[in-house]
């Protein structure tokens, strides 16, 4: 009952926050509309209201304001980007591409321009250009976030669902740029290795996770579960024993947690399944 009350309270808080955010945007839009009424030739005011409409998911109105800002001669460097972004969000991909191309000039472009261009080109089925644009993002982003590399690998597989070689190369690039022990990349690498049936490479990757983890019990279990799935039950038995030993070495406060008790149950079930087989 207590858990249900907590979940209800959290859900209510999240919904309230979302409603407040949209309500706040409505107030700001109304204020900006009043400002425009007092200065109808101010291109920047139309741009600013367009941004608010876009945040409020009123894409048609946002586009109208961005276009009005352009008509009035706005020199806001973000205008064409925001217009392209709004076209993209409203699934008008050809118009989105036309707008994003206006962002390209003599100056070196922000990687976000290339990222949006890549997403648009992907929707239009122009795959070779998509790869060129996203490769620029990966090569030129300083302190690149793991999500960007993973998106790059996802695009590779979207273009060719069997190109795990290319997807894995993207993940390796991420490991090189961000760090060899980045768990997000290691898990994605395991996912791609599994899908491409590279059993030994999967086991090597699990060993790497185990080696670099302070809490090893979960990874021993995951390794054992995978070994069972690929009919390597002798290895699975060893991995599950190692998981149990790792749990025994934990401080008492960790052993009594719900997560560890659940893990012990999963280990026992898998052991019984292996021995039964």
Residue ranges of the domains in the chain?
16-103, 109-189, 198-277
In the prediction, which pLDDT does 12 show? Answer: 46
pLDDT at 181: 84
Q: 57 pLDDT exceeds 80? A: yes
Q: Is it the case that residue 207 has pLDDT exceeding 80?
A: yes
Closest alpha carbon to 131 in 115, 145, 147, 146:
115
Per-residue pLDDT tens digits for 149-189: 999 999 999 989 999 999 999 999 999 888 888 899 999 99
- Tell me if residue 181 falls in helix, strand or coil: coil
Cite the beta strand spans of 121-177 per DSSP E.
none
Q: Is pLDDT above 60 for 6?
A: no
16-103 and 109-189 agree in CATH topology:
yes
Q: 20 vs 80, which has greater pLDDT?
A: 80
pLDDT interval class at 59 (50, 70, 90): very high
With residue 135 as reference, give the H or E element that holds it.
Answer: helix 127-140
Confidence band (pLDDT; 50, 70, 90) for 107? low
Report which DSSP code applies to 126: -
Instruction: Specify the pLDDT at position 141.
Output: 86
pLDDT attached to residue 247? 95
Domain 16-103 CATH superfamily: Tetratricopeptide repeat domain (1.25.40.10)
Sorted by sequence, the CB contacts under 8 Å of residue 136 that are 6+ apart come out as 111, 114
pLDDT of res. 1: 46
What is the average pLDDT across 8-33? 65
Cα distances from 45 to residues 42, 50, 65, in angstroms, run 6, 8, 9
Q: What is the DSSP letter of 57?
A: T
pLDDT > 70: what percent of the chain? Answer: 90
Residue 10 has pLDDT above 80, yes or no: no
**The pTM of the whole model exceeds 0.85:** no
pLDDT over threshold 60, residue 48: yes
Q: What is the mean pLDDT of the chain?
A: 89
Best CATH choice for the domain 109-189 from the list 1.10.3470, 1.25.40, 1.10.1760, 3.40.50: 1.25.40
Q: What is the DSSP string of 203-231?
A: HHHHHHHHHH-S--HHHHHHHHHHHHHTT
By CB neighbour count within 10 A (0-12 exposed, 13-18 middle, 19+ buried), where does 134 fall?
buried
Across 90-94, 105-109, 130-134, least confident range = 105-109
Which are the contacts of 98, defined by CB distance < 8 A and separation ≥ 6? Answer: 84
């Amino acid at each position: 009952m207590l858990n249900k009350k907590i979940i209800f309270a959290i859900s209510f808080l999240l919904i309230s926050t979302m409603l407040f955010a949209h309500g706040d945007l409505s107030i700001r839009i109304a204020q900006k509309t009043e400002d425009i009424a007092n200065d109808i030739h101010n291109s920047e005011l139309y741009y600013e209201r367009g941004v608010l409409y876009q945040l409020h998911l009123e894409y048609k109105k946002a586009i109208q304001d961005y276009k009005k800002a352009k008509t009035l001669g706005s020199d806001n460097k973000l205008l064409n980007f925001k217009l392209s972004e709004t076209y993209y969000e409203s699934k008008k991909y050809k118009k989105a591409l036309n707008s994003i191309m206006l962002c390209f000039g003599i100056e070196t472009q922000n990687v976000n321009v290339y990222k949006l261009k890549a997403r648009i080109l992907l929707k239009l089925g122009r795959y070779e250009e998509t790869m060129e644009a996203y490769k620029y993002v990966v090569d030129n982003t300083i302190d690149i976030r793991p999500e960007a590399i993973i998106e790059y690998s996802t695009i590779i597989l979207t273009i060719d669902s069997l190109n795990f070689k290319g997807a894995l190369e993207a993940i390796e690039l991420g490991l090189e740029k961000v760090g060899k022990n980045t768990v997000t990349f290691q898990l994605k690498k395991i996912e791609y290795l599994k899908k491409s049936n590279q059993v030994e490479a999967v086991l090597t990757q699990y060993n790497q996770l185990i080696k670099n983890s302070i809490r090893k019990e979960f990874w021993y279990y995951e390794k054992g579960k995978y070994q069972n799935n690929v009919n390597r039950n002798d290895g699975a038995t060893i991995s599950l024993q190692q998981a149990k030993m790792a749990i025994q070495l934990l401080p008492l406060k960790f052993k009594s947690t719900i997560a560890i008790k659940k893990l012990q149950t999963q280990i026992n079930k898998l052991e019984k399944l292996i021995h039964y087989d």
